[in-house]
Each structure stands twice: as structure tokens, then as C-alpha cells.
Amino acid sequence: MGDDSCFLLIATGGTAPFAGKERKEVSEFMEKKEAAGRLEELRELINRHNYYYHVLDSPQISDAEFDRLMRELLALEKLYPDLVTPDSPSKRIGGMPVSAFQQARHFAPMLSLDNIFSESELKDFYRRIGKVFYTGTICLVGEPKIDGLAVSLYYEDGVFKRGATRGDGRIGEDITHNLLTIWSLPLRLKESITAEIRGEVFIPRSEFLMLNKKRESQGLSLFANPRNAAAGSLRQLDPRVAAERPLDIFIYALIAISGTKELNTHWDSLQYLRELGFKVNENISLLNGLDDAVEYCRMIGAKRLELPYEIDGVVLKVNDLERQLQLGHTSRAPRWAVAFKFSSEEEITRIKDIEVNVGRTGTVTPVAVLEPVLIAGSVVKRASLHNEDILKEKEVMIGDEVVVHKAGDVIPEIVKVLKEKRTGNEKAFSMPATCPSCNRGLIRLEGEVALRCVNPACPAQLIERIIHFASRGAMDITGLGASLAVQLYESGLVKDVGDLYYLKKEDLVKLERMGGKSADNLLEALQRSKQNDLSRLLVALGIRFVGERAARILAFHFKNLYRIASAAFEEVIMLEEIGPKIAFSLQEFFKQKETKEIIHKLEEAGVNFSLLEEEREVEGEGIFEGYTFVLTGTLSGYTRQQAKELIESKGGKVVNSVSKKTDYVLAGKSPGSKLNKAMELGIKILSEEDFSRLSNS
């Protein structure tokens, strides 16, 4: 093979053009024997510097120097293909595609882990393993649980031979060709051992973002998360694809090893794996007992978002290998380890803008518009910033990177601003002085944190009220969402919620995107909503502080909207769970002219204002559900037995003596010592009057 063909092959290999001098060195002076020696030297050099760079994260030579070594190696290997060894760094560049994945049987089954989600479950785990040993403290190893893909690696005489996915735990797929492309995976170990080793392949966060950016610019579909990207890369037949992906690997277990190496603890085996040249996570920790373990989980949990790779929890493993054996495993998971999972309720994203939202009660709230992120299974695009005080306290700026939290159905919140990530291009934000919808000056009521628009005719508020009125927890008018509410308001068809019931088909069909069928459906939904029970109507009216629970209590007690509207303040605050805030709010609401007009329109349209029979039953049935009563003294309207039956028929329980667990003491005339005891313990005391009112009898 001549000089020129060598040059050509290197060029097609995708490396930079060959410098003249090096070419000369290779071609003119290198006899095969000499080449073999130089190749060995190069392999050693490259593998060493690769180790410094990718495993220790501390490069000793420049990238250019490294590339030069790599080019020299490739050139020599092209010249003498029979001198290519299995541990040659050239293997990393991506060899030939495989036609199909071969099956690979694991020496020992690849088990899963049992998950726990709380500190109390962690205590249970610790207690469970403790029972087996009857000794004091148990030593554990804590490791971050990398959110990637488990792989099994087989080394023979110190050389990487084969790697496989987990598969069904017994047999996986041979993905050696792709694993070779991972620079932090050693191809030759520092000792010539034969061993099976396990680890997790992953893509670091920042590399993942760059990968997706690149794909976006190429018009390719984006990966949902680093884990999927890593998994997708390993399941490629063509290793050149994996070679393009920023794959990395952490090693977390030594499964089997040849020879007489004595290892007694998991901790020692991790240190040994590190000595062999593997990348072992830097945040592992030796934990002495339960308190240490709890502390470790908290510490890693707090650090989680700052780590350059994604983790979904912490793995805790019994350190003593002898004890691991004693504990054994089930068919699914070892008994000596557990995964303490973090709920993925927090993510980092960027604030694109801050908008000001006017709520239905006129409250003006700053809302962060976010770069969309996936949190707890749904895409989050906006997060409330609550009010001016919080905005100032958190020092939020437009363009900031922030930690966003979302738990279940709770509205997403900004937990923390990552000030250290600021570039200087962020923009400050302050709340406007006037309402963004009606331009009226905003006021801050005494004792309130929120800015408020008090203009009763403010369009934003009116629209929000329509949306709220129609929402599922309120009148449940299917088809009437935010965009239609805006259309109805802006077209002048609806000025308040009362107008909804006077809509006509001929008006509706004139609206954009509203066909005859949709109009019919909407009118039907409106018609249906007239039969809703009183508590729904109360919620729908959007009275401040009157949510579902308060609405039920009010509906159940007063039974009719008019009675609520005219109820005396004193009567309202008498009700269980209803305080002066709600009572004031009701008074304020019902005395307004606008409210009176709405109520009139609703009544004329035939909207139900009364407590329906079904509602009575539902309410009556379980009002004492879960409560424990004690009876004392003589009741005038009931015998003891009648009172007991009444309580039980409504889900409550009657017991004989007062304890901390008692919820109510029903006290009649001449009560006994039970009353004193109840007072001592601070238990609620009901008079007979209270009782009959509550039980509605």
C-alpha cells in the first residue's frame, strides 16, 4: 500500500488532512516492526490521555495534540491493518454496521431494584435488613441513581470484549459496536483481569441540549429527554450513529471477577473499579447507619438539579458483600439494595417573558412565560409569580434560568432563580401601575399583597368570570372555554354571565369558527346547566373565598340562593368552617348592583336556585363521616339512642369516653365529667341546637 492511498483512507475516515512531515514519518521510516512498537506506544498514549480527559475530567494535553496522536495511529493502522488490536482507540470512531443484534446471555441475572419514595419507607428497609443480622449499625453505600440505560460489560484478560443491554434480565442484546464508541469506557484495563461489570450509559444534560439543538437545525425530530436519546443511540445497528452521540457511562457494580482479588465490601469494589480505569460516580458515599442514609438522600436530592447528568433517585446498597449474599434476592430485585426515588416535580427552564394576568376578582398577577418543559408528566409553559412582593423577593428577571416545581395538579411555581447562570442580557421587570386590560389605575388594598383592578367593567375580569362560570367545577358548560369566552365578550353578545342564557343560534353562528352544530351543542349545554344544583351555581358566581366546600355548606344550610343573598352576617359565621372572611365577602357580593342584575337574568332564564333532592341526600348522608362523638347530659329533642342512631346514619361514630381522638362532645342539660374532660383537652363541644342544625333534623 503506497503513501498516497494511506492519505486517502485517512481523509475518508473524516480526520483532518495529514501534515506533510507526519506523512513522511509514517511512510518512509516505519518498517512493520517499528510500526508495531509505535502503535503500542500510541495506543497507550491515547488511552491514557483519553482517560485523563473523559474519566478524570482533567486533560493533560491539548485537543489538537490528541487529534494528532489519533491521526498518526489511524494512518499506521491503515498501513498495517493486521496490527489493529481489539483495544485500539480507532475502534471508537465507529466500525461497520451490524446486520442484527445478537443475543447475549448474562453471567448473572441483571436485576431491577425495589423503589421507595419516602424516608419512612427507607426506615422500613433499614429495619428489614437489620432483622437479619441482629447487630447494631449497618453500613450502606449511597450512589446517585443515574437515569440512563443499564449495560453489562465483559472484559477478558483486561480487554473489553462484549457489552449488552439488560433485555429480560437473563438475555440482552449485544451492543458492543455501540459501546466501543463511548470514550469514557476503557478498552483495556489497568490489570489483566476477566470480569463482568455493570454500569449505566447516559448523556449529560448540556450535551443533550446541544444534540437537540443540532437536530432542530437539521429538521430532525427532537428527543424527549437524555434517557431516550441514550437508549435510542445504543439501539442502532450502525455504530457511526452512536459515535456521533455524546454517550457517557458510570460503572456501579463488579459482578464477577477472575483470580484471587480479595474484595469484602461494595465500597472497596467501587474503589477497585476506579483503579482499573472505570468512571465511577464522584458522589458515592459510605453511610454508617440509617441517619447517614437519610442525610445522604436529602443531600443528593438538594443537589440533584445541579448535577451535570440526570438522576431519578439514590441507590442504597448494603456494603458488606457477605451480608449481601445472606440477604439474597427475589426473582426481581436484590434484598440488599433499594432505590430511593425522587419525584420528578422540578425542572430547570428559562423565563421567556413575564405577563400580567387579571383574574376574575380583579387580582393582578405576574405570570412567567416559560420555555416549555416536561414536569411530572405534563408540559409546563407558564408559572405564577404570585405578586409583586414575591417577584421582588425572588429577584426574577426576564431571561433568567429558573427551577420550576409542579406537584400533581398544583399550579407550577418558580422555586428558585439560578442567578449564577445570568449572562447580563436579562431584563428587569416591574409591575405596571395600570390595569393591562382596562388601563384603570391599580390599587393595593390594605393588608393585601396583591395589586387589584377595581373597575367592575374591566374586560379581562368579565372574561375571566365567564370562563370560570362555565368551568368544570362550576356550571360545567361544555364547549365554553377561554377562546369562546373572549369571542362572546368582544362581540358584545355577553357582558356578564347572565347573558349566556339569552344567546341565540343566529348570533352564535356569526362568530368565527362557530358552525351550526357547535352552536347547537353550546345551547344544549347551557340548557342542561340550568338544572345544576345550588352549590355549583354558588361556585360559578365566583364569590371571593367561596370555593366548593364553602358553597356546599352554604347551599346545604340555606337551601336557596335568595336566602344566602339575604342571610345575616351572624347567621353565616355560625356555620361550621365558615368564617368572617367568607361572610363579609358574601355581603359585599350580594349588595352590588351588578350582582343583582345577574341574579335577575339567571332567574328569568330558569336557572335553578335551590338545593336539589340529590344534593340533600349526598350532603345528609355523610356529614359526620369519620368523626367520633361522645354524648353527655340530657337532650331535650332526642333520647340517647336516637342521637346515636342519627350520628351513625350520617357516617359518625359514638363512643363512651372522651379522649384526644374524640372530635365532638354533644352536651345536653346537666352534663357529667365528660364535659370537663372535653374542655381540658380542647375538644369541640356541641350544644343540642348546634347538633340539630348540623345534622339537619
Q: Name the site residues for ligand IVH (rule: CB under 6 A).
A: 111-113, 143, 145-146, 150, 200, 252-253, 315, 334, 337, 339
Interatomic CA distance for residues 142 and 284, integer angstroms: 6
| Nearest-approach distance from CB 280 to ligand IVH, in angstroms | 9
DSSP structure string for 569-626: HHHHHTSTT--HHHHHHHHHHHHSHHHHHHHHHHHHHT---B--HHHHHHHHHHTTTT
Interatomic CA distance for residues 420 and 403, integer angstroms: 13
Contact, 319 vs 141, CB < 8 A? Answer: yes
Contact, 337 vs 113, CB < 8 A? Answer: yes
C-alpha cell recorded at residue 675: 364535659
Contact, 569 vs 503, CB < 8 A? Answer: no
- 24 Cβ contact partners less than 8 Å away, ≥ 6 residues apart: none
| Nearest-approach distance from CB 403 to ligand IVH, in angstroms | 23
- Burial string for 9-33 (b: 16+ CB within 10 Å, else e) reads ebeeeeeeebeeeebeebbeebeee
Partnered with residue 315 across adjacent β-strands are: 143, 339
| Nearest-approach distance from CB 150 to ligand IVH, in angstroms | 3
| Nearest-approach distance from CB 279 to ligand IVH, in angstroms | 12
Q: Give the nearer residue to ligand IVH in terms of CB position, either 230 or 543.
A: 230
Interatomic CA distance for residues 402 and 466, integer angstroms: 33
- Burial string for 158-193 (b: 16+ CB within 10 Å, else e) reads bebebbbbbbeeeebbbbbbbbbbbbbbbbbbebeb
Q: Give the nearer residue to ligand IVH in terms of CB position, either 23 or 341.
A: 341
Helix (H, G, I), strand (E, B) or coil at 62: coil
Q: Give the nearer residue to ligand IVH in terms of CB position, either 297 or 339.
A: 339
Start-to-end CA span in the chain (Å): 105
Q: What angle do CA 316, 232, 349 make, to 5 degrees?
A: 70
Residue identified by cell 339537619 is 696
Question: Is 145 part of the annotated catalytic residue set?
Answer: yes
Q: Which amino acid is at 619?
A: E
Q: Give the nearer residue to ligand IVH in terms of CB position, either 150 or 462.
A: 150
Q: Give the nearer residue to ligand IVH in terms of CB position, either 316 or 555.
A: 316
Interatomic CA distance for residues 576 and 554, integer angstroms: 10
SS3 helix, strand, coil % of the chain, rounded to 5?
45, 20, 35
* Selection from 357, 377, 531 nearest residue 461 by Cα: 357
Contact, 402 vs 335, CB < 8 A? Answer: no
The CB-nearest residue to ligand IVH is: 150
Contact, 199 vs 249, CB < 8 A? Answer: yes
| Nearest-approach distance from CB 345 to ligand IVH, in angstroms | 19
C-alpha cell recorded at residue 67: 487529534
Q: Give the nearer residue to ligand IVH in terms of CB position, either 146 or 551.
A: 146
* Selection from 238, 240, 219, 221 nearest residue 229 by Cα: 221
| Nearest-approach distance from CB 407 to ligand IVH, in angstroms | 23
| Nearest-approach distance from CB 332 to ligand IVH, in angstroms | 10
| Nearest-approach distance from CB 253 to ligand IVH, in angstroms | 6
| Nearest-approach distance from CB 100 to ligand IVH, in angstroms | 24
Q: Give the nearer residue to ligand IVH in terms of CB position, either 108 or 407.
A: 108
Give the distance from CA 431 to its chain's centroid: 30
> Catalytic pick from 91, 145, 341, 674?
145
Q: Give the nearer residue to ligand IVH in terms of CB position, either 27 or 326.
A: 326
Q: Give the nearer residue to ligand IVH in terms of CB position, either 284 or 551.
A: 284
Q: Give the nearer residue to ligand IVH in terms of CB position, either 113 or 477.
A: 113
| Nearest-approach distance from CB 134 to ligand IVH, in angstroms | 25
Interatomic CA distance for residues 450 and 603, integer angstroms: 34
Catalytic residues: 145
